Structure 1
Amino acid sequence: MTRRLEPMGRVKELSGASVPFLFDIHALIYSENAPELERQLHQEFNDCRVNKINERKEFFKVSLADVKQKLLDLNIEVKFTLAAEAEEYRRTLQIEALPVEAQSHI
């Protein structure tokens, strides 16, 4: 969540050294009450948290379809893109598909 007029600044900030890949945007959701919407989403997907110990780590393993459905249930319209760039992630998968000896030459 961000209150910035330009949300991409927050995305770039979050894509730092503490995460393995740059973040890709699948949806931007405008809300009159973003803190409440964030609370509702966190509550809905609490069982899907990646880190079950530290709730300040706000990463969830949840499908975009599940997020979209929850937003529809809350009568929030949002446009999703399922073709996020994910360049670093996709290139990493390509490298991992190569034989081990070929990986060292990249």
Structure 2
Amino acid sequence: MPGSLREKQRLAERERATIEKAIREALEAAHGVHNQLVADLERQLKEKQAEIDAGQRTLSNAELGIKAGHVYVVSNIGSFGEGVFKIGMTRRFEPLERIDELGGASVPFPFDVHMMIGCQNAPALENALHKALHHHRVNKVNLRKEYFRTDRVTIERLVERNHGRIEYQVSDDYAEQFFNSQKVTPEMEAEIEKSFEGIPDLEE
């Protein structure tokens, strides 16, 4: 969409230049006499300038809409241990849907959200955080892996420096499945196994 808007802007600016040239030629031909042709051309020039200004505002709003989104900070201590955070971004209207996807079948426990930051330029904030934490990357050769070994306070300070103060809220059920799994005793496992009795094995 911004590409087509830019093309319209370039076309409007070329038309404005053509009108300006026609005004100059009309003035020269009239030897400075302000005739009707010049008045008409000046009116067209004002209309074209208004069109260009409106197009620029539309283009700016469109580009802003593309960049708007949420930067999230999540962890998964059951999968990656303490002190490892994933910092990413999403443009989804419901940003938590992205977090649900991350906690799918590829990891044994769901992710916990530490920060969900709505901003007008999410890629810029995400990039600033990634740069500041570059030396803390878990995977130092694949920069598309957005995991960093650091602490939440450090990330908070970086967010405040690049975005401004926001509220941080960790859910009450932080790492609930992981901590509950740690509490399961051998006796409890035996009871769980009993629930499998009577369930037929899958046929090969």
Distance 1:75 1:34 in 2: 10
Shift of 1:12: 0.6
- Whether contact under 8 Å (1:27, 1:78) holds in the other structure is no
Structure 1 residue 87: deviation in Å?
1.1
Structure 1 residues not aligned, in runs of 5+: none
**Once structures 1 and 2 are overlaid, which stretch shifts more, 49-58 or 5-14?**
49-58
1:43 aligns with 2:117: no
> Equivalent residues in 2 for 1:81-96 (5 A)?
81-82=169-170, 84-85=172-173, 86-95=175-184
> How far apart, in 2, do the equivalents of 1:48 and 1:103 lie?
39
After TM superposition, the score normalised by the length of structure 2 is 0.45
**Pairwise CA distance, 1:75:** 4.3
Shift of 1:84: 4.8
Structure ranking higher on relative contact order (CA contacts 8 Å, 6+ apart)? 1
Q: 1:16 aligns with which of 104, 107, 125?
A: 104
CA contact (8 A) 1:15 1:21 kept: yes
* Cα gap change, 1:3 to 1:83, in 2 (>3 Å): closer
Cα pair 2:128 2:162 within 8 Å, conserved: no
Across the aligned residues of Structure 1 and Structure 2, the Cα RMSD in angstroms comes to 2.0
Provide the C-alpha distance between the structure 2 equivalents of 1:13 and 1:80, rounded to a whole number of angstroms: 22
Number of matched pairs: 102
**Contact 2:138/2:149 (8 A) holds in 1:** yes
Residues 57 and 19 of structure 1: CA distance in aligned 2, closer, same or farther (over 3 Å): farther
- Identity of matched residues, %: 37
**In the TM superposition, what are the counterparts of 1:1-106 in structure 2 within 5 Å?**
1-82=89-170, 84-85=172-173, 86-95=175-184, 105=190
TM-score (norm 1): 0.80
Q: C-alpha separation between the residues in 1 aligned to 2:176 and 2:124? A: 32
Which has the larger share of strand?
2
Structure of greater Rg:
2
Q: Is the CA contact (8 Å cut-off) linking 1:51 and 1:57 kept in structure 2?
A: yes
Cα offset, 1:40, TM superposition: 0.4
- The structure whose residues are more often helix, as a share, is 2
Which stretches in structure 2 are left out of the alignment for 5+ residues?
A: 1-88, 193-204
Stretches (4+) displaced over 4 A: 101-104
1:27–1:80 CA contact under 8 A, matched in 2 = yes
